[in-house]
Amino acid sequence: MREAATEEKTVIITFLIRAWAEPNSIFDLFIESFHVGQGTKRLLRHLVVICLDEKAYSRCLKVYPHRCYFLKTAGVDFSGQKNYMTQDYLKLMWRRIEFLGSLLKLGYSFISTDMDIMWLRDPFPRLFSKGDFQVSCDSYNGNSMDKRNVVNTGFYFVQANQRTVKFYNYWYGSRSRFGGKKDQDVFNKIKHDRYITKKLGLTIRFLDTVYFRGFCQMSREMNKVITMHANCCFGLQNKIFDLRQVLEDWNAYISAAGTVDGRKMRWRSPDHCWGRVKKTKKTR
């Protein structure tokens, strides 16, 4: 962490399991986005990949050898794809929260980013100058202070201080109050708690989907996007297909300086992901 941290003692953290580490899978697309994004390649020096199983660690060392950390968990096998909301999936999500809380105790601020997020521009200039906890949204209503925004914890920035250390302890401890729920769902439950709003005085800011974008609330504009998240998407292959399409569109946008024959370029629809979501809704 010392080697990766910025002068302000900030690191970028992502987590890797075997299923996403396979060649031509999510990990490769994630790293590629830093190379093709505007002003993002230099941020790789601050990125630390937390590997949750041996196969993921082995693959990380081949692709990104200087910033791989093997986080061992006794008695738990995190290898393989973790199907959404299974017990293994929930253990994986909460292990992440436990680890990130330990970074705050060491004094490290961090951006936590899911690996199915493409980094296309430097996000730091778009973060609020004040705010203990700044988080992306599936749906944003235009008010960065409004807790009714629909949160997505795939991307968030946390400032290391006593408030956030205590908040992470409270967040992790609250998992037992809401059995069978993932970290994001528990966050949405506790963000209104008096302990957080009054006693801790934690400042929570919500990030605009115009800049921190995802498939859930996707604008066609390409000139403002900073990150693109494959949220509202189920299935590894669907994510891979549509994220690869994002990078193809981005490379075409950069090559054409944003326009073709005077027309503004726009993102193609993530039809593999959206098609799966529509089918799921019809069967419910």
Which CATH number belongs to the domain containing residue 172 in this structure?
3.90.550
Q: Within this chain, do residues 66 and 38 fall inside the same structural domain, yes or no?
A: yes
Dist. CA 123–CA 210, nearest whole Å: 12
What does 28-52 look like in DSSP terms, one character per residue?
A: HHHHHHHHHSBT-GGGGGGEEEEE-
Contacts of 53 (CB under 8 A, 6+ apart): 17, 18, 77, 78, 79
**Domain boundary at 190, 206, 222, which?**
206
pLDDT at 253 over 90: yes
Dist. CA 13–CA 4, nearest whole Å: 10
* pTM score over 0.85: yes
Number of folded domains that form the chain = 2
Q: Are 90 and 51 in contact (CB under 8 A)?
A: no
**Domain boundary at 206, 233, 267, which?**
206
Q: Within this chain, do residues 201 and 244 fall inside the same structural domain, yes or no?
A: no
At residue 151, what are phi and psi to the nearest 5 degrees? -75, 145
Identify whether 146 is part of a domain: yes
Q: Which helix (H) or strand (E) holds 171?
A: helix 162-173
Dist. CA 153–CA 136, nearest whole Å: 6
**Domain boundary at 206, 225, 255, which?**
206
What Å distances lie between residue 235 and 66, 241, 242, 251, CA to CA? 30, 10, 11, 25
Q: List the domain range (segments joined by +) for residue 236.
A: 212-275
What's the pLDDT tens digit per position in 189-218? 999 999 998 999 999 999 999 999 999 988
Identify whether 65 is part of a domain: yes
Identify whether 282 is part of a domain: no
Identify whether 66 is part of a domain: yes
Q: Within this chain, do residues 140 and 98 fall inside the same structural domain, yes or no?
A: yes
Q: Within this chain, do residues 231 and 154 fall inside the same structural domain, yes or no?
A: no
pLDDT at 283 over 60: no
What's the pLDDT tens digit per position in 44-95? 999 999 999 999 999 999 999 889 999 987 666 666 555 544 666 788 788 8
Q: Within this chain, do residues 28 and 165 fall inside the same structural domain, yes or no?
A: yes
pLDDT at 281 over 50: no
What does 196-230 look like in DSSP terms, one character per residue?
A: IIIII---EEE--TTTEEESTT--S--SS--EEE-
Q: Within this chain, do residues 150 and 110 fall inside the same structural domain, yes or no?
A: yes
Q: Within this chain, do residues 132 and 266 fall inside the same structural domain, yes or no?
A: no
Identify whether 187 is part of a domain: yes
Q: Within this chain, do residues 182 and 271 fall inside the same structural domain, yes or no?
A: no
Q: Within this chain, do residues 137 and 251 fall inside the same structural domain, yes or no?
A: no
Contacts of 110 (CB under 8 A, 6+ apart): 10, 11, 12, 13, 100, 103, 104, 157, 158, 160
Identify whether 229 is part of a domain: yes
Q: Using alpha carbons, select from 220, 196, 200 the residue that is nearest to residue 210.
A: 220
For residue 109 the two structure tokens come to 């601020």
Q: Are 220 and 227 in contact (CB under 8 A)?
A: no
Identify whether 57 is part of a domain: yes
SS3 content of the chain, % helix, strand, coil (to 5): 40, 20, 40
Dist. CA 283–CA 159, nearest whole Å: 42
Q: Within this chain, do residues 130 and 226 fall inside the same structural domain, yes or no?
A: no
Q: Using alpha carbons, select from 58, 77, 76 the residue that is nearest to residue 68.
A: 58
What's the pLDDT tens digit per position in 69-82? 999 876 666 665 55
Identify whether 48 is part of a domain: yes
Q: Within this chain, do residues 188 and 224 fall inside the same structural domain, yes or no?
A: no
Q: Within this chain, do residues 131 and 25 fall inside the same structural domain, yes or no?
A: yes
